[in-house]
Structure 1
Amino acid sequence: MPTLRTLVAIPASLALLLAPAATGSASSAKATDPFLSQFVIKGRAPAAALLDHHGGDVRYAAAGPGIARADHFRAGSITKTFIATVVLQLAAEHRLSLSDPVERHLPGLLRGRDTDGRRITLRALLSHTSGLADFTEVTRGAVPLTPLQAVRISLALPSTGLGRFSYSSTDYVVLGMVVRQVTGHSYAAEARRRIITPLRLTGTSFPGARASLPAPHGRAYAADGSDVTELDPRVAGAAGELVTTLDDLDRFYAALLGGELLPSHWLREMLSTRAAHGAYGLGIFPVKLSCGTTVWGHNGRIAGSYVRSAASVDGRHVLTFRVNTTAVADPTLEPALLTAEFCPRSR
């Protein structure tokens, strides 16, 4: 779930830290490298890594043992940007409209005590303004579910209010069902055909029920230190199933924001935050840094993995970082890292 945090002053002591080993171009040493080690020291992650593409400069850095650039890992809610891209492509092809009510594609699915699929549009699902409660509030990301089971759990919870922004993985589970209804294929098959194959994202997959990660991969750890490398992806489905790599995520966001995946009109629709009152676009969200620069992207959290991709609006500068645990203990580290990378005076 995206969290907009107030940026805090960066302690001067961080500048004294030794940067972890990095590979890349000759200009690879930058101010972000010392911050990366803080995800291990202060963030209490076993290991952390980042990959930055900025023009012709490619920089990889890592801190802690057992993590590598080529590793496959679970990307959690970054899956939502992929699903939103598929839906917007279908809209561009006039196979659906963002103003369509869910009822038009999935009749009778969204009927509850304060929920009516005749009033909830696809745009509301994409922007998290549907009012559908988040099924993971009950499952805590630990129970494999079918899409219908996830929806039923959501409908048993109070609505968060139609038209009000409230981040909910249920929205994207429903969108996955819409994609199947409109195309006759699963959201995974459509994402492979429309995004993964054209962009040659060879490390990216939708594993379905496969609990193991493709090789190569490191280990993934829960907050209590237990090993959760093996995980049934059906705990998240269309809201968080994706497995990928650092290189593939940088490539994906560069291509998306660079206009390779959506016509210009539909890319503008994706970046519009009007429905969510500035908090979220359609499967992507902005963060305004302390220097005034706005970065676009998404984060993803699933058992044993936290990932964040952020990019300039034109996709020419993309950074993805990850830790091999469920969450970062110190919430100031992520905004400090983004500020150091995207604000020129902070480098």
Structure 2
Amino acid sequence: MPHTRTLLAIPLAVTLIGLASASAPPAAKPAADATLPLLVTRGKAPAAALLAREAPWSTTTPGAPAPPPDRQTTQRPLWHFAHANRPTADATAPGTDGNPAPAAGTEPDNDGAAARIRRTDHFRAGSITKTFIATVILQLAAEHRLSLSDPVKRHLPGLFRDSDPEDRALTLRSLLTHTSGLADYYTTGAKGPVPLTPTEAVRTALALPATTPGRWSYSNTNYVVLGMVIKQVTGRSYAAETARRILTPLRLSGTSFPGTRTTLPSPHGRAYTSEGQDVTALNPGGAGAAGELISTLADLNRFYAALLAGRLLPMTQLRQMLNTRAAQGRYGMGVYPQKLPCGTTVWGHNGRISGSYVRTAATRDGDRVLTFRVNTDERVDPALERTLLAAQFCPR
């Protein structure tokens, strides 16, 4: 689970669906539409899709909440959906050789790798889970139920051996920023994450070589521990607390924490490993608070727009979330910045779990947000991802 230039015309049709209110003029066709098909041709994904959202207002202060209803325009946010996929004849595996000519709108049976990604499909969002967990921790800090400078052992006594250097250096802030020094426990098997309880995940991490405390090193263990802290502080699981604080208020009805449930809610497509194995049925329990989330394109856009617009965190905590100093500019708390070639910086996260890769990015004020996904865990070329984001967020 991890963290534009002019393009030559390519032989690929892309289905576009622009959704806007009847009173609003249709949105211009985003430049990202021309880049999206490269995730299929160059990236070798069976299918790819994006959903972009643009708010009809601009806040005067970055991070400020949306204007009150009586000061908002009656225009609704503009939504734009696009997808690209391989034709049925090429529905074998993401890593097949050659350069097929994908087609849009093909409708093979449900087992076909070329089945297109629908706008409403549910999918596994991997490490995007971390943004939700970080938001809950920061909400608890705003309520003075914990402090980011708290040592982990204040909330989870006995989880770490007192003689370990990690135990003395571990604070909630170091977990949020991936500067704790804890090794990454996360491993995958043929059918997804190796199922471990949170305590087993921590024990696995402690048996591995630690990284340097105070230096950024991405580790899923950090967020598994934060999930345990949420339960200790609130008396509810991280899944229940996140649903109460985020999913329900924002009406993210397509987002859920499946635990060890192996099925995806309907509707959904198929999911494939980079070798072409169907992993649609998957036990994500081993990913836990670091990556078990299921969501939709629209829900992720709505969540990040609300987060960056200041609807989920007070300004003090939102500034802390976006402060990257502790992680040497690499990471904030559950989000990270990416500076695009035009100088624009977008904020968000990516998620990679067996059968799925997804990336959400948004402007600092949350007015513009884009989520794209592919139905394979084939690693997206970072240069290609950057090109897609630049096509969406850089002025033309």
Give TM-score, length-normalised by structure 1.
0.94
Separation in structure 2 between the aligned mates of residue 327 and residue 112 of structure 1, nearest angstrom = 40
Residue 63 of structure 1: aligned partner: 84
Q: Which residue of 2 aligns with 1:195?
A: 246
2:283 equivalent in structure 1 = 232
Greater fraction helix: 1
Pick from 19, 23, 28 the counterpart of residue 17 of structure 2: 23
The separation in 2 between residues aligned to 1:112 and 1:159, in whole angstroms, is 15
CA contact (8 A) 2:188 2:194 kept: no
Q: Which runs of 5+ in 1 are unaligned?
A: 4-8
Counterpart CA distance in 2 for 1:340 and 1:19 is 18
Indicate the residue corresponding to 1:295 in structure 2. Answer: 346
- Cα drift, residue 70 of structure 1: 0.3
Q: Is the 8 A contact 1:79 1:239 kept in 2?
A: yes
Distance 1:90 1:314, change over 3 A: same
Counterparts of 1:1-347 in structure 2 under 5 Å?
10=5, 12-13=7-8, 15=9, 20-24=14-18, 25=20, 26-55=26-55, 56-64=77-85, 65-111=115-161, 114-137=164-187, 142-345=193-396
Deviations 1:241-299 (A, max 9, x none): 10000000000000000000001111001000111011000010000111110000000
Q: How far has the Cα of 1:235 moved from its partner?
A: 2.0
In 2: Cα distance, 1:2 partner to 1:293 partner: 23
Please give the secondary structure, in 2, of the residue aligned with 1:214. coil
Instruction: Tell me the distance in 2 between the aligned counterparts of 1:226 and 1:139.
Output: 12
Say which SS state the counterpart of residue 321 (structure 1) adopts: strand
Structure 2 CA distance for aligned equivalents of residues 70 and 112 of structure 1: 48
Asked if the contact 1:112–1:155 (Cα under 8 Å) also holds between the matched residues in 2, the reply is: no
What SS does structure 1 have at the residue aligned with 2:307? helix
Partners of 1:328 and 1:129 in 2: CA distance: 24
How many Å apart are 1:332 and its aligned residue? 2.0
State how far apart, in whole Å, the 2-side matches of 1:234 and 1:145 are.
7
Once residues 220 and 35 of structure 1 are traced to their aligned partners in structure 2, the CA distance between those partners, rounded to angstroms, is 22
Distance 1:17 1:340 in 2: 19
Provide the C-alpha distance between the structure 1 equivalents of 2:10 and 2:130, rounded to a whole number of angstroms: 38
Letter in 2 for 1:53: R
AA in 2 matched with 1:177: M
Question: 8 Å contact 1:212–1:229 — kept in the other structure?
Answer: yes
- Taking only aligned residues, the RMSD between alpha carbons, in angstroms, comes to 1.7
Equivalent residue, structure 1, for 2:109: none
SS at match of 2:81: strand
What residue ranges of structure 2 are gaps of 5+ in the alignment? 21-25, 56-76, 86-114
Judged with a 3 Å threshold, the aligned counterparts in structure 2 of structure 1 residues 113 and 49 are, in CA distance, closer, same or farther, namely: farther
Match of 2:99 in 1: none
Asked if 1 retains the 8 angstrom alpha-carbon contact of 2:2 and 2:127, the reply is: no
Count the aligned residue pairs.
Answer: 339
> What secondary structure, in the 3-state scheme, does the structure 2 residue paired with 1:174 have?
helix
Between Structure 1 and Structure 2, whose CA radius of gyration is higher?
Answer: 2
Measure how far apart 1:216 and its partner are.
0.4
User: Which residue number in structure 1 is paired with residue 58 of structure 2?
Assistant: none
**Structure 1 pair 167–139 and aligned structure 2 pair: CA distance change class (3 A):** farther
Shift of 1:31: 1.2
State whether residues 131 and 164 of structure 1, in contact with CA within 8 Å, keep that contact through their aligned partners in structure 2: yes
Distance 2:13 2:314 in 1: 41
Q: Which stretch of structure 1 is more off in the superposition, 157-166 or 137-146?
A: 137-146
CA distance in 2, matches of 1:240, 1:115: 27
Report SS of the residue matched to 1:61: strand
Q: Which amino acid aligns with 1:162?
A: P
1:114, 1:159 within 8 Å by CA — same for their partners in 2? Answer: no
